[in-house]
Amino acid sequence: MQTYGHFINGEWVESKETIPVLDKYTGEEYARIGKASKEIVTEAVDQALKTFQTKKLSPAERYEILMKAAEIFKERKEKLAMILVREAGKVLKDARQEIERGIQTFIASAEEAKRIAGRGIPLGQPGSENKMAFTIRVPVGVVGAITPFNFPFNLTAHKVGPAIAAGNTVVLKPAQVTPISACEMVDILTEAGLPPGFLNLVNGSGRETGEYLLEDDRIALFTFTGSPGVGRHIKSKTGIRKVALELGNNSPNIVHKDAPDVDKAVQLCVTRGFSNAGQACISVQRVYVHRDLYESFTQKAVDVAKSLKVGNPEDPQTDIGPMISENEAQRAEAWIQEAVQQGAKVICGGKRHGAVLEPTILVDVKPEMKVVCEEVFAPVFTIVPYDDIDDAFRQAQDSNYGLQAGLFTSDLQLALRAAHELHFGGVIINDVSTYRADVMPYGGVKDSGIGKEGPHYALEEMTDEKLVVIDL
């Protein structure tokens, strides 16, 4: 069994205390990681800062390293996918797709390294006739990257790729329950030619190792994906330093009576509501269906849900694997039971087998039930009928969150109205809220966070725009 320590200035460093990493399906110990002390975290930030101050990689060098890393990821795709199967309980087909997406995220980051540009600034104001101005984009310095368990490879790629492409140095803390793919990523970037000090990794829990990072004010920017509670805490601890926060959502999806292909809408809602065992921030959670379609949509959704194979993530046929832990599955099960006590009806699933929760659809729900108004983060979604599209828009927006929303309609005007009126970071027409291409601007409003990801947009977050004025 392998033990991963902390990667500082190009070397793996061991620590006295270690933490087990479990196989999320079998529950067996699969690897161990070190638990970074305050001294180790301080050393990692020391090295990241020293590297930032003394070494530079040209945009072309950053491009070459990130592209080379993408090539190595491709060669080791199966090995990396199997790590995700074991550390995250991700089903094999989703694990392969996540590695594929991570590769694309690295390629896009590499390309962005060559495109960092400021802009010309017009100074059309009396008194500035003899001045010329433009901006340049410069790296922020040391980036602290804190990542969640649900997409441990691609969400780490979304932080490390742009940070390196922008010319920063990084201290990364992966989620303690899924740290192995991030450790492998660090090794592969080193193999691809990333010199020591540019990417450092500290393992351990958020409450200890994460806190030590937050307390180190030499970190110029935190890029975080995770829960709103921790996001809020990070914001409160970082004062006037920059933060990019990708947080939760209880994604609404509206299926209007003129949906161009209702069967496709059913298929997408069900498969994207349950993929990754529903543990995705843009997972389909609330489906609002026009009353004309409600009965047939609901029946078809149950049929599709029942056709999904649930169980061992290593089996290439499995669609839905375990949740991240039995505790989390119990929490979701309790939310379902609470909703049932309050009048909801389970029309499929609802049962739990250890960490595996059967794909569950609920109807007759009320807006105040947790399965509706909070982020369920489990293979669970609700279907609610509506008569009036304005009411569907109102219910969709009746949320503290605002990451992405979906709408199925053939009406161009309605689609454009939704784009204007629905207060979300993204509105997806004729696909579900779960749609994400890794190059697109991705990020939410309200409690869903601050700032955008997608390499081009993340590079803007991870660089400072500096003004240059020249007196002619």
Residues of the shown chain interacting with ligand NDP in the complex, contacts defined by CB under 6 A: 146-150, 155, 173, 175-176, 205-207, 210-211, 214, 225-227, 230, 233, 246-248, 281, 375, 377, 403, 449
Amino acid letter for position 411? D
The DSSP letter of residue 117 is -
In the complex, least distance from residue 358 CB atom to ligand NDP, rounded to whole angstroms: 21
Cβ-based nearer residue to ligand NDP, 150 or 169: 150
Cβ-based nearer residue to ligand NDP, 205 or 342: 205
- Which residue in the list 246, 326, 460, 461 is annotated as catalytic? 246
In the complex, least distance from residue 450 CB atom to ligand NDP, rounded to whole angstroms: 11
Place of tokens 């899924």: 178
Residue 373 among the catalytic residues: no
Cβ-based nearer residue to ligand NDP, 150 or 298: 150
Query: Helices 92-113 and 59-75, interaxial angle, to 10°?
Result: 160
| Closest-CA residue to 428 (of 313, 306, 282, 290) | 282
Tokens standing for residue 201: 């990794």
- Which residue in the list 281, 328, 358, 375 is annotated as catalytic? 281
- Strand, coil or helix: what is 406? strand
In the complex, least distance from residue 137 CB atom to ligand NDP, rounded to whole angstroms: 23
In the complex, least distance from residue 152 CB atom to ligand NDP, rounded to whole angstroms: 9
Alpha helices, DSSP H, located in 89-136? 92-113
Question: CB-based contacts of 206: which residues, under 8 Å, 6+ apart?
Answer: 146, 173, 175, 176, 230
For the beta carbon of residue 181, count every other beta carbon within 10 angstroms: 26
Residue 129 among the catalytic residues: no
Place of tokens 């709103």: 228
For the beta carbon of residue 346, count every other beta carbon within 10 angstroms: 18
Helix%, strand%, coil% for the chain, nearest 5:
40, 20, 35
In the complex, least distance from residue 157 CB atom to ligand NDP, rounded to whole angstroms: 13
Q: Minimal CB distance to ligand NDP: which residue?
A: 206
- Residue numbers annotated as active site: 246, 281
